Amino acid sequence: MMAQRGLLTLLGTIFVSLIFFFPLTACAADDQNTTPWHTYNDGVHIYNFNISWVRANPDGMAERDVIGINGRWPIPTMEASIDERIIVNVQNHLEDESTTLHFHGLFLQNETHMDGPAQVTQCPIPPGGSFTYNFTVHQPGVYWYHSHVHAQYPDGLRGPLIITEPNAPFQELYNETKLITVSDWYHDRMPGLIKQFMSKGNPTGAEPVPNSALLGETQNLTVHVTPGTTYRIDMVNIGAFASQYIWFEGHNVSVIMIDGVYTHLTETNMIYLAAAQRCSFLITIKDDETSNFPFVASMDLDLFDQVPEDLNWNVTGWMVVDQKKSLPDPAILYEPFSPLDDTLLLPWDNQTLLAEPDHTVTLNVIMDNLGDGANYAFFNNITYVAPKVPTLYTALSAGDLATDPTVYGTNTHTFVLKKDEIVQIILNNIDPGKHPFHLHGHNFQVVWRSDDEAGTFEDSNITAADFAPIPMRRDTAVLHPNGNMVLRFKADNPGVWLFHCHIEWHVQSGLIATFVEAPKVLQEVIKIPEDHFATCEKGQIPIKGNAAGNSVDWLDLDGENAPPPRLPAGFTKSGIVALVFSCISGILGVATVSWYGFAESEEERQAQQGLGINEDNSLSPGDEVQQVSFGNSGLRGGEGNHAGALLRQAGGVIRG
Ligand SMILES: *[C@@H]1O[C@H](CO)[C@@H](O)[C@H](O)[C@H]1NC(C)=O
Ligand SMILES: *[C@@H]1O[C@H](CO)[C@@H](O)[C@H](O)[C@H]1NC(C)=O
Ligand SMILES: *[C@@H]1O[C@H](CO)[C@@H](O)[C@H](O)[C@H]1NC(C)=O
Ligand SMILES: *[C@@H]1O[C@H](CO)[C@@H](O)[C@H](O)[C@H]1NC(C)=O
Ligand SMILES: *[C@@H]1O[C@H](CO)[C@@H](O)[C@H](O)[C@H]1NC(C)=O
Ligand SMILES: *[C@@H]1O[C@H](CO)[C@@H](O)[C@H](O)[C@H]1NC(C)=O
Ligand SMILES: *[C@@H]1O[C@H](CO)[C@@H](O)[C@H](O)[C@H]1NC(C)=O
Ligand SMILES: *[C@@H]1O[C@H](CO)[C@@H](O)[C@H](O)[C@H]1NC(C)=O
Ligand SMILES: *[C@@H]1O[C@H](CO)[C@@H](O)[C@H](O)[C@H]1NC(C)=O
Ligand SMILES: *[C@@H]1O[C@H](CO)[C@@H](O)[C@H](O)[C@H]1NC(C)=O
Ligand SMILES: [Cu+2]
């Protein structure tokens, strides 16, 4: 005992001396390069993130509340070398919102509990709460981190995460690396926008259109460059919704990596980056370059149901050779644009098509209305609703029943995967929108992707002979309008991994499925740290039981979280669309319908009250419903399944 205490005293003395003397030395050594939120020692990066509201005005048009870290916004870029450890101590000082952090693209082998989505691998961190992420990084390249709860990251909680490696492929071809983020930007906070988006006043599910685009979380970004130098540009789309066309005036670029996968060098004059995608490419400044030149990010208007008159969907940055010279306006380009088709890229490791699948999952993407009148997104007949118990905690507590998808509930849309099986996902887009699909914990081979309007995979008569022999691999891939796509991956990473559209609006409206991969292995390897469970306790969220919180009868899902009920038969989506559309067009005139036109106005409310739509966002059953007799004819045009197409024709600027 005494000896131990003596030892402790000695250690205590050393510790106290360190506390007193270390800051002095640290300060002396400190300069602007050392950020206060980051310390590094022996392969371990520690980030202390105090998350709170701050004010910012990145596009110069509207100062607003944004989610910052340690009182600052933009938030820091996280950096580590391959095989190092990252620890993030999060304190949630947002007084009115819970939060989490997700590390997009990282595999987190044996560390699925550090992945971040709320009610999937952890409980949301409540205001005043704290939480520690602790994981290792084994993949080089460009990733990013963002909140993964209630569509929060577009309010600012989104930043790059870069993993460097010695002897990176292509490094002999460039002199320097520059990181540039690109994104859309909203002037309003997400909770209000979500309320408008998911409402009976917006039955077509028209997504809020961003107010502007940003490069480097600002506009008019300047990047200082030297003639005769080749730069590796790491670009990441940290936006909520918009895909971006990106080009550098008068210069081609050579792509070397997408979503953490090195590719064979591929030259192009334009890149397309959907929300969450990354691309690294080389650009050479000519020896005799004396002028500054612009680069442009232009939001893909196809995603928007209508384009507001005053929207500038472009943002310009400049490669600056000479600060004294002017920053020329970019030349106007005309559509159609033809950016690099990412399925033409070949992975640098030449990984061939994975074997025939052991497990095929077919997911049809469908938008439809439910009984509250709002528009929801479905995979087949399921719109995601979070479970009462985080799915990982169900997997860890369900014993042998963890391999039975029933315990995860209907509305998490869970597929249980066996260790190391080859999984194939067939996506059919029964919607005229583009959707960037992302899988957590893996990247996937895009073995086949159809053009727009090709119909379902089955209708396309595609066979394995049509699949790419060396498929492009990434973690986020765009499914084309009314087209189809086939993805393959090997279930070699035990965990609970979401598969979802990365458009934050569609995450909110339910376009999510869950893969529970090798749950029996998880039960062996995953040990949940105490602070993770404490977070649940603070929020009174159970950590044991099936999706309904039942740990007595695991197959009884009574009381599980569920979406609003289906509309009564005969009361179809087109009926609602026709109903609301006709009353709004009556009031506003078809030509001027715009997204915010759907925000509830006094007239609209009165109109709705007469038509069976209640104040509480639900549709009354019974007689009021019978008043709607539009059936399937409605205003919906022929084969268009997403009623938003209607609005594209009806209102605002139309871009062909
Ligand atoms: C975290 O930020 C909040 C809000 O800005 C501030 O009140 C608090 O003192 C900060 N805490 C720490 C430990 O930095
Ligand atoms: C960018 O430059 C334009 C033109 O000079 C200016 O109107 C705008 O306010 C600038 N934006 C920002 C965010 O500084
Ligand atoms: C994950 O854990 C298993 C079982 O302990 C181990 O065999 C495997 O090497 C681990 N994988 C990684 C990448 O650490
Ligand atoms: C992080 O995880 C490692 C490996 O499990 C462990 O040794 C270390 O103590 C953890 N650190 C923190 C701060 O939780
Ligand atoms: C860039 O790298 C190339 C090849 O390594 C080298 O020849 C050139 O001098 C470098 N340029 C600069 C400005 O350092
Ligand atoms: C730029 O790349 C395109 C392919 O995207 C190619 O057609 C064109 O010739 C290239 N231009 C130059 C100047 O190399
Ligand atoms: C955005 O840039 C594109 C490409 O140059 C151009 O066609 C379009 O007119 C621009 N839009 C605005 C609002 O300036
Ligand atoms: C991939 O194939 C190319 C030839 O197409 C070859 O040059 C390269 O070395 C291969 N890469 C690897 C990692 O095997
Ligand atoms: C979806 O369809 C399947 C098969 O037809 C059915 O068993 C299941 O109950 C349906 N689920 C929902 C949520 O409607
Ligand atoms: C697929 O095959 C069917 C039956 O042979 C044929 O009717 C249909 O036109 C084919 N579709 C395509 C896209 O080739
Ligand atoms: Cu989507």
pLDDT, position 37: 86
> What confidence category does residue 623 fall into, taking pLDDT thresholds of 50, 70 and 90?
very low
pLDDT, position 568: 81
Share of the chain above pLDDT 90, in %: 80
Nearest-CA residue for ligand 6 atom 13 is 252
The number of beta carbons lying within 10 Å of the beta carbon of residue 649 is 12
Residue 380 CA to ligand 9 centre (angstroms): 9
Render pLDDT for 146-164 as a digit per residue (tens, 0 to 9): 999 999 999 999 999 999 9
Residue 515 CA to ligand 3 centre (angstroms): 19
Instruction: Look over the chain and give the mean of its residue pLDDT values, rounded to a whole number.
Output: 86
Question: How far, in Å, CA of 435 to CA of 502, rounded?
Answer: 7
pLDDT, position 575: 56
Nearest-CA residue for ligand 3 atom 1 is 110
Strand partners, 369: 375
**Mean pLDDT computed over 136-146:** 98
Question: How far, in Å, CA of 347 to CA of 257, rounded?
Answer: 8
DSSP 537-567: HHTT--SSSSTTS-SSSTT--TT---PPPPP
**Mean pLDDT computed over 377-386:** 98
Are the C-beta atoms of residues 210 and 241 closer than 8 Å to each other?
yes
Question: How far, in Å, CA of 296 to CA of 430, rounded?
Answer: 32
Residue 228 CA to ligand 5 centre (angstroms): 7
pLDDT, position 573: 56
In ligand 3, the atom with minimum distance to the C-alpha of 138 is 13
Residue 461 CA to ligand 10 centre (angstroms): 6
In ligand 4, the atom with minimum distance to the C-alpha of 87 is 13
* Residue bearing the bigger pLDDT, 421 or 625: 421
**Mean pLDDT computed over 94-123:** 98
In ligand 5, the atom with minimum distance to the C-alpha of 172 is 5
Are the C-beta atoms of residues 386 and 412 closer than 8 Å to each other?
yes
> Is the CB of residue 582 below 6 angstroms from any atom belonging to ligand 4?
no
In ligand 7, the atom with minimum distance to the C-alpha of 296 is 2
* Residue bearing the bigger pLDDT, 640 or 329: 329
User: Cβ contacts of residue 544 below 8 Å, gap of 6+?
Assistant: 389, 393, 397, 551
The answer on pLDDT for 447 being more than 60 is yes
Render pLDDT for 453-475 as a digit per residue (tens, 0 to 9): 999 999 999 998 999 999 999 99
**In one letter, which amino acid is 320?**
V
Nearest-CA residue for ligand 6 atom 14 is 252
Question: How far, in Å, CA of 36 to CA of 45, rounded?
Answer: 12
The answer on pLDDT for 5 being more than 70 is no
Tokens in use for 536?
């649940």
**Mean pLDDT computed over 309-330:** 98
Q: Which long-range contacts (CB under 8 A, 24 or more apart) does 584-591 make?
A: 585/650, 590/650, 590/651, 591/650, 591/651
Q: Hey, what domains does the chain have and what are their CATH numbers?
A: 21-165 (2.60.40.420), 169-349 (2.60.40.420), 359-538 (2.60.40.420)
Cα dist from 400 to 349, 389, 397, whole Å: 38, 17, 9
> Is the CB of residue 77 below 6 angstroms from any atom belonging to ligand 4?
no
> What confidence category does residue 336 fall into, taking pLDDT thresholds of 50, 70 and 90?
very high
The answer on pLDDT for 612 being more than 90 is no
pLDDT, position 569: 72
Find the residues whose C-beta lies inside 6 A of ligand 6: 252, 267-269
pLDDT, position 567: 84
The answer on pLDDT for 414 being more than 80 is yes
Are the C-beta atoms of residues 46 and 84 closer than 8 Å to each other?
no
Q: At what angle do helices 602-609 and 573-588 cross, to 10 degrees?
A: 140
Which of 170, 174, 340 minimizes the C-alpha distance to 247? 340
The answer on pLDDT for 605 being more than 90 is no
> Is the CB of residue 48 below 6 angstroms from any atom belonging to ligand 4?
no
Render pLDDT for 162-187 as a digit per residue (tens, 0 to 9): 999 999 999 999 999 999 999 999 99
Are the C-beta atoms of residues 547 and 412 closer than 8 Å to each other?
yes
> What confidence category does residue 579 fall into, taking pLDDT thresholds of 50, 70 and 90?
low
In ligand 4, the atom with minimum distance to the C-alpha of 132 is 14
Find the residues whose C-beta lies inside 6 A of ligand 9: 381-382, 410
pLDDT, position 628: 24
Render pLDDT for 190-207 as a digit per residue (tens, 0 to 9): 999 999 999 999 999 999
Pocket test for ligand 5, best of 170, 171, 175 (most atoms within 8 A of CB): 175
